Amino acid sequence: MQTHFIKLTKPQKSSVYDTYWKFAVNRNEIFTKRLSDPFGPWTNDPILRDNRFTNIFRASDRVSQHLINIQYSDSKEIKEIFFKSILFKIFNKIETYNYLEKYLDKISASTFSIDAYDSLLTLRMANKQTIYSAAYIMPSAGNVFGYKYKHTNHLALLDKMLRDNLHNKIADCRSLEEVYNLLLSYPSLGSFLAFQYTIDLNYSTITNFSEMDFVIAGPGAKNGILKCFTTLGDYSYEDIIKMMADRQEDECYRLGLSLPSLWGRKLQLIDCQNLFCEVDKYLRVTNPELNGASGKSRIKQKFSLAKAPFSLFFPPKWNLNEKLDKSCQEKVNAGIFS
C-alpha cells in the first residue's frame, strides 16, 4: 500500500517579520536592566520607553506574579487554590483582590458567599473604583445567571464551578487541552479566557503540564500574526505560534541576537502567543500602514511605575527560584513589573 503525504503550503513572512524577534530581545533587555537599575532609562526606543508592554515571559509580569504568590502562599488544598485563582483572574486586578482580602475575614472557598462578596464589590463600584482590569474584556454571564451587575454574575459563575467540583475534574485531566475544554464549557468563558485560565491554573499544584503542549491564539495574537506574515499558507494561527517557539534559537542566531530566556527557560507557546499581541501594539505605531480596517494607530496604556515592590517567585516545579540572584528575591523595585 502506497502512502501519500500532503505537502503543506508554508507561511510567507512579511517585511516586518523580524520585528517580532527584535522586539522580544529589546523588551527582555528592559526587564533585565530594571532588576539592577530601578529608574532607568532602560532603552533608547521611545515606543518601548513611553508605552506599557508586558514582559515577554508571561509568568514574570506583575499580575501573574501576584497570582503565583497567592497559589503558593496558604492552603495546599486543590479546592482553595482553584477558588482563589479563578476569583483573582475573573477581575484580573490586584487592587480588587486585596480589597476583598482586607474586608473579609478570609478569602476561602469554605466560607464563600455570593451575597457577601457582591456587597463589597458593589460598594467599591459605587465609590467609583474600577474592579476589573482593562487588560481584556470579561463578557457578562447575565443571560445565564440573570443578575443586574456583571460582577454578581461572575460570582455566580464561580459558585457554579465550585458546586460542579470543577477543581477535582481539572486535577484529573491528562492534558492542557482537556483543562481548556472543561473551562470552555462554562458560560462567558470564550476560547481566549478559557486558555488564559488554563495557563493560570497550570502555574499551581493542581496540574503540571508543559506549556509547550497546547496553545490557543487570542484576537491580539491573530492581529500580530497577520502583520508578520503576508499569508499563512496551510498553517493555522496555532501552527504559526508553534513554529515561532520551535525556531527561536535559529531566528535569533540569524539576526545576531541573544536568545532571551527566563533564567534558562526558553520562550514557551504562551509566551510566543503573548508576544504577537505586544508586537501588534508596537507595529501600530511603527507601521501604521499595516493597521487596516481596525483603525488602531496608538497604544492606549502608557508606561508608569508600579506602586508596590515584591519579590520574584515562580512555580517551584519549574526549578527557577534557586537560580534567582539574591537581589531579585529581596530588592525587586516597585517599577520593575508595571
The answer as to whether 226 is a domain residue is: yes
**Domain span including residue 172:** 77-202
pLDDT at 273: 98
Residue type, 154: H
For residues 321, 325, 327, 332, the Cα torsion angle rounded to the nearest 10 degrees is -40
Please give the pLDDT value at position 306.
63
- Whether residue 243 lies inside any domain: the answer is yes
Q: Rounded to whole angstroms, how far apart are CA atoms 157 and 144?
A: 9
- Judged by phi (left if over 0) then psi (alpha if -120 to 50, else beta), residue 295 lies in left
CA-to-CA distance for 134 and 152, rounded, in angstroms? 18
Contact yes or no for 261/190 (Cβ under 8 A): no
| Amino acid 338: pLDDT | 40
Same domain, 100 and 192: yes
Question: CA–CA separation, 336 vs 333, rounded Å?
Answer: 6
**287 lies in a domain?**
yes
Among 202, 225, 256, residue at a domain's last position: 202
Same domain flag for 184 and 238: no
Question: Same domain for 198 and 219?
Answer: no
The total domain count for the chain is: 2
Last residue of a domain, one of 175, 202, 229: 202
Give pLDDT tens digits along the chain (338 positions). 565 566 689 999 999 999 999 999 999 999 999 888 877 788 899 999 989 899 999 999 999 999 999 999 988 999 999 999 999 999 999 999 999 999 998 999 999 999 999 999 999 999 999 999 988 788 888 789 999 999 999 999 999 999 999 999 999 999 999 999 999 999 999 999 999 999 999 999 999 999 999 999 999 999 999 999 999 999 999 999 999 999 999 999 999 999 999 999 999 999 999 999 999 999 999 999 888 656 666 666 676 666 566 679 999 999 999 998 655 654 444 344 44
Residue 154 CA neighbour count, 13 Å, CB half: 23
Report how far apart, in Å, the C-alpha atoms of 68 and of each of 64, 75, 204, 231 are. 6, 13, 7, 38
* 152 found inside a domain: yes
Residue 331 main-chain phi, psi, to 5 deg? -125, 35
> What pLDDT was estimated at residue 310?
61
Specify whether 183 is located in the same domain as 235. Answer: no
Q: CA–CA separation, 302 vs 46, rounded Å? A: 11
Q: Are residues 100 and 36 in the same domain?
A: no
Give the pLDDT confidence score for residue 13 in this predicted structure.
98
Alpha helices (H) in 215-308, listed in sequence order:
219-228, 237-254, 269-286
Give yes or no: residues 196 and 226 share one domain: no
**Residue 244 CB contacts under 8 Å (≥ 6 apart), including other chains:** 20, 251, 267, 272, 275
Rg of the chain on CA atoms, in Å:
21
Q: Give the domain-ending residue among 202, 228, 244.
A: 202
The answer to whether 99 touches 123, Cβ cutoff 8 Å, is no
DSSP state of 265: B
The residue type of 225 is: I
- 132, 176: one domain: yes
Indicate whether 219 and 316 sit together in one domain. yes
pLDDT value for 335: 41
* Residue spans of beta strands (DSSP E) within the chain: 12-13, 229-231
On whether residue 338 sits in a domain, the answer given is no
